[in-house]
Structures are given as structure tokens and as C-alpha cells.
A and B are shown apart, each in its own frame.
Chain A
């Protein structure tokens, strides 16, 4: 354990105290539907292959479909239990996003280091009134922070707020 209060002064702001704001419940529906669509496409593809190609044994086919079914069930269960862990927080000088049930991840970006901000809205997410806010830094793009499952309005508010804060730092 680290024991040195000189280095980590006690009065610096603590991330433990951050209260994460949960994502919109529509977002849970959206990811559920996205996964179901994905599995439906797999199922249609697999089924077509099975009926066109007469050589595949019924046992093999049943096994594969059962495995797919179990995978889908697990995935859906994971989405339900993991959803409450997802959340974001914006402090005065930094922005945080948290996700994951089995693997927890917490990403933090100081607003000073943000290079630009992007709002994205896909076709399906538009129907749900959802948007994604992505924050770009000079670091590796895989490590960038993106807040999914917020309303377009919130995303635009955040963008305005963050842009304003970024200008102060410059």
C-alpha cells in the first residue's frame, strides 16, 4: 500500500465522491434490440445455409443453434444487470465514464486535454431519441471517452459546456 501523504495530499479532489449519472432507460432497450437484430441476422444466415446445403447433420445444426441461443440469453442477462453500472459524470475540470459488469472500466479525461468533441446519432438511436458524445484527445483513439445513451439535447448541452471550458483553458 502507498503510504505517503506528502505525495498524495489529502485535500485533492477524490473521484470516489463522484456521483455517476445513469444513462437513459431507452438506451437499455436500444442495446437489447441491437443484439436481438444481430442474432436474428445470424439465425437467418445460418438457417439459409442449413436448408440450402443438405449435408449438415440435424444434430450439428441443433447444437449450433442451441449455443447461439444460450449466448444470446447470457448477453441479454448481462445487459440487464450491467446497465445500472453504466454512467457518466462531468466535474468542473474533468469528465468521466464508467461501464462494465464483469470487467469494470472507468475512463477519465481532463477537459484541458480535449481536442474536439463529436455528437453522433445513428438511424435506430434517432428513433429512440438517443445520441452519443465522443471526446477526442491526442491519445490513442481506442482510449477515447464516449458517452452513449444520452439524449441529443443533453449531448448538445454538454458539447457547448465543454467547448466553453476548453476555450478558457486555451
Chain B
């Protein structure tokens, strides 16, 4: 192992100063982009360049450059007395020290600028409830790897012993590849994505851009909108079909691009009791998942995925801080798993959960009736309201009944709850299927709820609250809910294991 003398305070690579500069420019643009847009389009740019604005601009740039160089110059990181220390700031000195054993994960990220300049960003997530996570904007990949292994060594020293006796799993090889997505796999993942989501993304994104443009070019936009409106009014079915086909193609393309951006070169590796996942085209991300932090594993399969024989596996971890911004860390998605991948992942995380049989429970039929009536209301009321103005719309109501029936039947048919000595699982879904599995001893809170609609048949909902989300058994007999609660409380109280 090469020694980068991590024990002495050291700066980031000189390129680091460039990153402080890029960040401040980004911050500036994010804050002032409407102003800049107005200035560029509405103001007379050539005239304005000669005036004060130019000096202000140059001044701002100078301040940003000086600031970034000073920030870089005063940013040190090192390991001392089993603590990872970051010292930074020139006007205000900030020292952040994270004890090694508190470090939960060390993640390496590489954005587009990082890739061009050949450096990476390092993020350290710690378990302390109040400590903020530490981030080093730009260091060379060698140092990052070195730091990652040093920090994870310190952390695994403590967790190793308990982990092995906990699971009793046979000794695993040091590093083991779990999943790697090839070009073909990526294609499969892209094709089987939920394309409606892509469409929604386009709609939301398009609306945002539209609003942004509208502020600047009000009159022009109004004119275009008017023309489009009259175009739609006078168009016939052929034009409509063209529009629909166009939208389908666009949403498909969006899903593809999205897949490539997020999951390009997707690699999942097991190293002792952690998974390391890296992926991304423009922004390369590395995420580590310590097994002990995992609270729930979810497998979801939509109809397209079922056809292609793959599924998406989602891993939910306990959040370290009360408001964690790092969403990837809490909720990690593993795309393109076939059933053996899913089995291997879930077995590593939860132990051998498929070994013992489960007791299965179906929700009461009242559950289906409730969904039916709620869907009737949700779709029927707006139609009824619109029909007050346009009586023709009232025909839409005839379609609402079969639709509500389909929804209720789809949801009811798939919903199933199961429990055994150590695990609980819920099968759910409407078009696709979802399977959530959790370990009973990690439950934080149990809540039984009985609404007035459940009173007559004496059914109830029982919710198992975990550190990352919760699952709910709905419309099961009250007596079963009570027994399940008694059992889970007993299980949690008597287990010697810790939930994290």
C-alpha cells in the first residue's frame, strides 16, 4: 500500500481551488439566473458592457477567484487519533472531527467536471445524530481510495465481531461482484422503465421552462399559446394520434436517457458486510450500504419487467440524521436484477428469509369495497362537476364504474400479508407487484388502528414502523392484529440484537 501520509494535515490537489470556484459560480447562477436572463435578452447588452455592470462583473469574478483560492489553501484533512479531521475556513475557522467508529459510509462521487479533470469528490456519512456529513470537493482517485479503505477499516474493526456472530454466515471472500449491468442489461432496464414517469417528468420540466420563459417574453408566449389552443380545437383525430404517438416516443426516449445517466457502468460489489454500488454517466456516484443499517428490502416488478424477467430491488436504510438530504443513501435502487440477483441481495441483507414458511393473511373484502368507492368518488366527482357546465361530459360517468372496479380488483387481488418467526412481508401493487420484506426485531413502533368502517366486521390495520418507512397489514381480523402485535413486542424485547 502506498503511503499518502494521511496522518499529516494535507490540502486537496491544486485543482481543488478550481472546484471551489465552480461551486461559487454555480451558486451565483442558481441565485441570479432570472436576473441574468433578463439582462441578456431585454437589456441592450453592447451598451451595458461599457458601463458599471462590467466593473461589477469583473469585481465579482475577482472576489470569487480570491475566495476559492483562499478556501482551497485553508482546507486540510487528515486522520488523527482514530478521528477523521477536516479543518477549513479563513475568515471563520471550522474544525470537523468524526470518530472513525461513527463513520457509516464513505462515498466517492465524480461529476462531469471531476471526470474531465481526473479527480473525485469524497463524502463521509456519520452515525451521530447531530454531526453533519463531511465532504471533500476534489482529491485524486488514489487518495480517495486510500482514505476510503482506511476509514472503512477503522469502522469494520468494531462491527466485524458482532456481525459474524449475528448472522453466522460462512466466511465470504473479501470482494465479490454481485451485479454488473452490461449494455444489453441497460437496454432492458431502459425499455422496462415506467414510461409514464418519463412523461410526467417532461410535463413538469416543460411547465417550469414555460413559466421561466413566460416571465421574460410575455407577449410572444401568449401569442403562441393562443395559436396552439385554436390548433387543438380545430384538429381532428389524425392529428391527435400523431400527438399521442409523439408523446409516447418522447417519454420512451426520456426513460432511456434517464437510465443511461443514472445506471451507466452500474457495478454492485459485496465487501465483507457492505455493498458498494457505483454508477452514472455524467455524475459518477459510489454508495456504500452497511448491512446492519438496512431496514427493509423491496422488490418491484412492473408488467414490462415481468415480460423481460427482471425486477427492481430497493434497499431502505435507517437515516443517520433526522433530516438527511442524501436520498440515495437512504433509499438505494438496484435496477435490472433477475431473481437470483434479488435472492442473493436480500439474503445478504436480511439473512435466510425464504427458508421458513410464512403464515399468509388476505385483507377482508371490505378493503376492496372501500377502494372501489374511493375511486368512484375520486374520478366521478370531477366529472360530475364539469358536467354542470358541459352536459355531454356526463357520459364519462359510465366509464368510471368499470375503472373503479378494475382498480379495486387489481389492488385487492395483489394485497397479501405474511409473517413468520423472524420476518414480515407485504405483497402489494396495482399494475405491477411489490414485495416488501423486513426483520421483525428491527421494528420501532407498532400501531393498531380501527376505523368506524372496520368496526362491524371487527377488522383492523396494524402498522409496523421501521427506522426507514413502515409497512401496514390492512383489514385483517382484530384478533390477529392483537396477536401479531403481542408477538412483535415480545420479539423486539427479547432479542439481543440491535436494530442498527
Contact = CB atoms under 8 A, between A and B. Distances in A.
Interface in A44-76: none
A138 B444 contact: yes
Contacts of A12: 486-487, 490
A140 B485 contact: no
A145 B448 CA distance: 13
A112 B491 CA distance: 12
A168 interface: no
A153 interface: no
Contacts of B466: 139
Contact of B359 (A7, A13, A94): A7
Interface in A9-29: 12-16
Would you call the interface of chain B mostly helix, strand, loop, or mixed? mixed
B469 A140 contact: yes
A88 to B, nearest CB: 14
A132 B449 CA distance: 22
Contact of A7 (B420, B443, B469): B420
Interface stretch (B27-35, B46-54, B265-273, B476-484): B476-484
Given A8-B486, A139-B466, A139-B467, A112 B492 contact: yes
B470 interface: yes
Interface stretch (A31-39, A99-107, A119-127): A99-107
Contacts of B500: 138
A113 B359 CA distance: 26
A113 B318 CA distance: 13
A106 B359 contact: no
B463 interface: yes
Interface in B84-132: none
Given A94-B493, A144-B445, A138 B499 contact: yes
Interface residues of A, number: 31
B449 A112 contact: no
A161 interface: no
A105 B486 contact: no
Contacts of B489: 13, 15, 93-94, 108, 110
A107 B447 contact: yes
B421 A143 contact: no
B355 to A, nearest CB: 14
Contacts of B318: 138
A14 B483 CA distance: 8
Contact of B485 (A1, A15, A138): A15
A102 B465 CA distance: 23
A138 B322 CA distance: 9
Contacts of B421: 7
Nearest to B490: A12
Nearest to B450: A104
B479 A139 contact: no
A113 B467 CA distance: 10
A145 B463 CA distance: 13
B451 interface: yes
Contacts of A141: 322
Nearest to B420: A7
A13 B483 CA distance: 10
| Shortest 3 CB-CB contacts between residues of A and residues of B | A139-B444, A139-B465, A138-B467
Given A137-B444, A139-B467, 10 more contacts: A2-B359, A7-B421, A7-B487, A12-B486, A16-B482, A104-B448, A104-B450, A138-B444, A139-B465, A143-B465
